[in-house]
Amino acid sequence: MVNIIGIVSDFLTGLGVSVLLPIVIFILAVSFKQKVGKALIAALTFGVAFIGLNLIIGLLIEAVAPATANMVEATGVQRDIFDVGWPVAGAVAYSTLAGALVIPVSLGVNFIMLATKLTKTINVDIWNFWHHALVASIVTIASGGRVWMGLIAAGILAAVCLVVADRTAKRVQDFYNLPGVSIPQAFAVSSVPIIVGVNWVLDRIPGVKNIQWDESHIREKWGFFGNPLILGCILGLILGALGGLWRDVAAWLTLSITLGGVMLLLPMMVKLFVESLSTVSEAARNVFKEKFKDREIYIGLDSALLIGHPITIASAVILIPLVLVLAIILPFNRVLPFGDLAALAYFVAMVPCLSRGNLFRSVICGLVTMSIVLLVTTSFGSGMTQMALEAGYALPEGTTDITALSSGNWIGWVLYQIARLFG
């Protein structure tokens, strides 16, 4: 039975998000009594939008990577835990027995919470269950091999993700114009209390509480330089200069134009998501209005949908050098950021909608969030290394331990610490 579940889990994750999610969207639309033709168009549009989104984000990460690598090298800093990035973390998380069993556990938690009206979210973001799988795996290790404890931890994380997704859904929908959508992605969820806490503090600091660098303010006050395309190009020039790309003018200018293009193109991809999801949301509302007396339902999706906002991209680019400095000066940190450094937009995806689109607050919230991420991944220590070695992953030369910044989920860390009491 376990082998069958593992095979099914491998098959589902192996499809990739751009194939898996359109299938889920089609099934949902049809189950909500949408016409097959209309449901198919919505599903295919969603898949195309996700391919476009991933291509643009991939272009961003590829363009930024040389500058970040140069900055890491230029610091000359040595840390004994190396950030290998989320692709390795995701693969390693699913390689364990606990990780392989996570998909049915997380889906089961979602079904039970929907049936008991404890959530409004149908989480179709199955690929990002790797966050649940990672928690299941690391808790299993910490508890001395108790797989059942790992699966309970994954179930708790899945439940928390659904609750927070519900609580933030209206802000996400209104700010990003994504009707009927919520974000249950585990890292995005874990950042919410941090963002709320930082905003609470900033609201009580005279002068600072009045700083409002939102998109309209930037466009109005910065004029020509506030245009997202121009702002992206300028940030690309600055990042390239800090990363030493001025030695290669072609690479430097390419980074500048790429960042400008990303700022311009990502919102266009989000519009395609809105177009496809409106079909599902409309059908779902009609069904629930008919059978459940106006009960509201949300479609839980990847936080990648939120990265299209210019404030998110701008804050992520600004944070790249700041996070490197943070890794140097933060007490007790043992992690050297690298693999996930170019993907910092994911770490601040929830900030704009919870901070009224404020660029200043996005950077401050990002710094606090990344401080916690560095300390959490430091505390996890050799947990991921042990999983990676068992999965056959070869550690980078000269590296004692590996991690991924994207594994720095403080909720998972709390569950990990509880599990250690039984190890």
Q: Which tokens belong to 72?
A: 């890491």
Q: Which residues, listed in sequence order, are joined to residue 403 by a DSSP beta bridge?
A: 83
Counting Cβ atoms within 10 Å, is residue 391 exposed (0-12), middle (13-18) or buried (19+)?
middle
Dump the DSSP string for 233-256.
HHHHHHHHHHTTGGGSHHHHHHHH
Task: Please check whether residue 138 is in contact with residue 412, taking contact to mean a CB–CB distance below 8 angstroms.
Answer: yes
Name the helix (H) or strand (E) containing 222.
helix 215-222
Outline where 292-409 has alpha helix (H).
310-329, 351-354, 359-380, 383-390
Number of domains in the chain: 1
User: According to the model, what pLDDT value does residue 310 have?
Assistant: 83
Dump the DSSP string for 85-151.
-HHHHHHHHTTSHHHHTHHHHHHHHHHHHHHTTS--EEE--GGGGHHHHHHHHHHHHHTTS-HHHHH
Could you tell me the pTM of the whole model? 0.82
| C-alpha–C-alpha distance, residues 90 and 221, integer Å | 42
Task: List pLDDT tens digits, range 176-185.
Answer: 888 888 999 9
Reading the chain (423 residues) residue by residue, the pLDDT tens digits are 555 555 655 666 566 666 777 887 788 788 777 788 888 888 888 888 878 877 887 787 788 778 878 887 777 667 788 888 887 787 788 878 888 888 889 989 999 998 899 999 988 888 788 899 999 998 998 888 889 999 999 999 999 999 999 999 999 999 988 888 899 999 999 999 999 999 999 999 998 888 887 766 666 666 666 677 787 788 888 888 888 888 888 888 888 888 888 877 877 777 777 777 777 777 766 666 666 666 788 888 888 888 878 888 888 888 988 998 898 899 999 888 888 887 888 899 999 999 888 889 999 999 999 999 999 999 887 777 887 777 667 777 666 788 888 889 999 999 999 998 886
Total residues belonging to the chain: 423
- Alpha carbon 243 to its chain centroid, in Å, reads 25
User: According to the model, what pLDDT value does residue 69 have?
Assistant: 80
Collapsed DSSP state (helix, strand, coil) of residue 337: coil
Q: Which tokens belong to 341?
A: 């450094």
In terms of residue numbers, what domain contains 90? Answer: 2-420
What angle is formed at CA 363 by the lines to CA 191 and CA 128, rounded to 5 degrees? 35
CA distances from 24 to 42, 91, 118, 127, 137 (A): 11, 22, 22, 12, 26
Task: Please check whether residue 332 is in contact with residue 378, taking contact to mean a CB–CB distance below 8 angstroms.
Answer: yes
- Alpha carbon 329 to its chain centroid, in Å, reads 25
* Strands 81-83 vs 121-123: parallel, antiparallel or unpaired: unpaired
